[in-house]
Structure 1
Amino acid sequence: MEIECEVEREVMNRRRFLSTTGATALVLGSGAQESFAAAAPKSAKTPKAMMKLGCQSAPTTDAHLKYLARYGVKHICGYPETSEGRIASTVDELSRMRDLAEKNGIEIVCVGPPILESSYIDREKHPAIMLAKSPERDRDIEQLQMLIRNCARAGLPSIKYNMSILGVLRSGRVQGRGDASYSQWKLAEAHPKTPLTIAGHVDAEAFWERITFFLDRMIPVANEYKIRMACHPQDPGVPPEGYQGVDRVLGTVDGLKKFVAIRESEYHGLNFCQGTVSEMLADPGTEIFDVIRYFGTRKKIFNVHFRNIRGHRNDFVEVYPDEGDVDMWKAIQVYREIGYPYMLMPDHVPVAESDPQGLQSFAYCYGYIRGLIQAVSQT
């Protein structure tokens, strides 16, 4: 009789465990499932998980918004239609985008302007800020200042941007699992098409001057209108001697630390690409967590590109989130630990011939991130 009671208690314990973790285990897979099962019970001091599943994929049309809503994405970075020749969307243009998203049950919490994108300078329509070319630079900055004001009037709290000349550097693609292909960067095998860009030689001193010039004029306006300005790191970092004549000063963790300190403000921070920051590290699987803590505890993370890599600085492949060198379950626990309240989103997903735009890969990543958020909310 005593043995039967013991068996019955064990069965009940297993049922209770499976009822709370079963759905999550299906999403996370065996590795994260073991980590979740081993996690300590939530203590009174454990912060509540506040992060949200998000996305920054374009365009912000009714059809794409319905696609996002289908997979439970309720917060996004949006791209407003902007009248020809303008950088700053009007309040009406921003409001129409916001209203269209709301009709689909989605909130726009970040805006992507048609300038300072992660694009190659030779193809950039508005290169003056990064080229330090006045008076065009001054006019473009005035337009971005107006965008800050208009976002505030439309109730849109954040703007993302890049300070890049080289865009996203990659050396090729490699075969992934199934029929997917992955983007790769091998510095030793990279050969630029031209020795220099139209920017010419841009050493660290010149690059910091351009960044500081921009921040000195933008952050005071962001402070006044309470709009978070989220800058993406340079992807990937390159050696100090530069690549195509450019020293990518925002391609190291120390560079990002210097960047956020130039203008101390609660509205000056990072569009923190976890994948790009992992690409800066010699051992991302062990180092990334303290980097998240550094910027997160200082409230400098305004958005997260929650993606994974396999490899390290100067030699890596962008992979699905569950197969890289970074333990994403541990990473999301760190975001909860620091009280991160904004979006976690996919970025640079693998593609396949049958999925050239990566919509299936994005959907996979939405489910993966959503499962992690639900799991960390229960621990």
Structure 2
Amino acid sequence: MKLGFGLYKHMLDDEHFAFARQCGATHIVVHMVDYFNQNDRFSRSNQPVGDTQGWGKAKMDVWTTDELLDIRARMEKFDLTFFAIENFEPCYWDDILFDGPKKLEQIEIVKQVIRNVGAAGIPVFGYNFSLAGVAGRILENKARGGAQTVGLDGLNEQTESLLPASMAWNMVVDEDATGLREPTTTEQLWERLAWFLEQIVPVAQEAGVRLAAHPDDPPLELVRGQPRLVNQPHLYQKLLEIYPSRSNALEFCLGTIAEMSQGDVYQAVEQYARQDAIAYMHFRNVKGKVPHYHETFIDEGDIDMPRVIQILKEHHYDGVLIPDHSPQMSCDAPWHAGMAYAMGYMKALMQVI
């Protein structure tokens, strides 16, 4: 197993690379879609009611191989490996998600992105085939000692408000669009995913890239009037069986799996680790299940984290674990302190087990 660290695009500088390495990380997962303007994982967790901006405006900015190689080279100065990218820009594929008129044009953009990622020597691309994205979570002070964290305390006006036609994945993709998105059925969403995988997995195979699917967070049945795809652990298997390939894999979010209303998190880890389907894992802890849960420090939630590591070891898992995010601690550097705490715990746990 390898210890990794997640960084947003605005964090791709020497200061953050040094911090990740000092925490013991050897591998980096990059969110190239930069939702935030500061080092605050929760800065956009409380969107206003009736929100039409979400996490901001999406950009059509196709990442080139040279751009990715530059990021990789700057990481390597700190002995860090550029292991994965998380999430496409919504403008790359909003018509793929919603079966719009530009989906054939957009699938060619997505294919080129995957080719560029492979050419830059980045082995994994994480994605979330979600219409509404992450919406409705709230800031709470429910982690140990009153630390600030995110959660869901029942359905709220944002989870229930319908998705504007201007948005996809909780980001604005068309400022001129008016009205609301047409409702999609669960069956239609799975049909769109199947078409996407049939188009993209062969390209990923040729490029040497593993596609890694994230489950839906929050894992409700509907968010903003749109269905969810992987909101129960067994649905990951359905996704894998659409196009069996090593390049069709999972971005296994442990916290999201634990939040789901059905299933057993340890059984899910065992099932997908046994198949070598986990490309990398978000190693974070939670208390509760939808629609009432909150994220916790890594050692205080409902998940027995040492047990998860033991299961991964038994199945010879050799992928990357990242904390993804952590409660923010009461000090002058709340994000840094929370992440350092999580990383220290993970490193010790991996060494002991």
TM bucket normalised to smaller: 0.7 to 0.9
| Counterpart AA for 2:26 | K
Q: What is the Cα deviation at residue 281 of structure 1? A: 3.9
| Counterpart AA for 1:100 | R
| Counterpart AA for 1:75 | H
Deviations 1:312-352 (A, max 9, x none): 23221110110001110111101111111111111231125
Q: What is the Cα deviation at residue 86 of structure 1? A: 5.0
State the percentage of identical aligned residues: 29
Structure 2 gaps of 5+ residues are 35-57, 166-180
Q: How does 1:293-332 map to 2 (within 5 A)?
A: 293-332=270-309
Alignment-derived partner of residue 327 in structure 2: 350
| Counterpart AA for 1:360 | A
Alignment-derived partner of residue 185 in structure 1: 152
Alignment-derived partner of residue 204 in structure 1: 186
Q: What is the Cα deviation at residue 113 of structure 1? A: 5.1
Distance 1:60 1:69 in 2: 13
Change (3 A) 1:348 1:170: farther
Q: Classify the secondary structure of the residue corresponding to 1:249.
A: coil
Distance 1:249 1:151 in 2: 25
Q: What is the Cα deviation at residue 245 of structure 1? A: 1.8
Distance 1:282 1:258 in 2: 16
Alignment-derived partner of residue 248 in structure 2: 268
Contact 2:232 2:260 in 1 (8 A): yes
1:133 aligns with 2:100: yes
Contact 2:284 2:324 in 1 (8 A): yes
Contact 1:80 1:93 in 2 (8 A): no
Distance 2:228 2:320 in 1: 26
Alignment-derived partner of residue 89 in structure 1: 63
Distance 2:248 2:203 in 1: 11
Q: 2:24 aligns with which of 68, 72, 75?
A: 72
Alignment-derived partner of residue 315 in structure 2: 338
Q: What is the Cα deviation at residue 163 of structure 1? A: 0.9
Moved more, 324-333 or 351-360: 351-360
Alignment: residue pair count: 312
Contact 1:80 1:97 in 2 (8 A): no
Structure 1 gaps of 5+ residues are 1-50, 117-123
Change (3 A) 1:132 1:114: same
The structure having more radius of gyration, on CA atoms, is 1
Normalised by the length of structure 2, the TM-score is 0.81
Q: 1:147 aligns with which of 94, 103, 113?
A: 113
Q: How does 1:114-133 map to 2 (within 5 A)?
A: 114-116=88-90, 127-133=94-100
Q: What is the aligned-residue RMSD (CA, Å)?
A: 2.4
Deviations 1:188-239 (A, max 9, x none): 4565463344233111011112211211110011122221001111112213
Moved more, 183-192 or 325-334: 183-192
Alignment-derived partner of residue 108 in structure 1: 82
1:158 aligns with 2:124: yes
Alignment-derived partner of residue 134 in structure 2: 168
Distance 2:31 2:150 in 1: 25
Change (3 A) 1:162 1:156: same
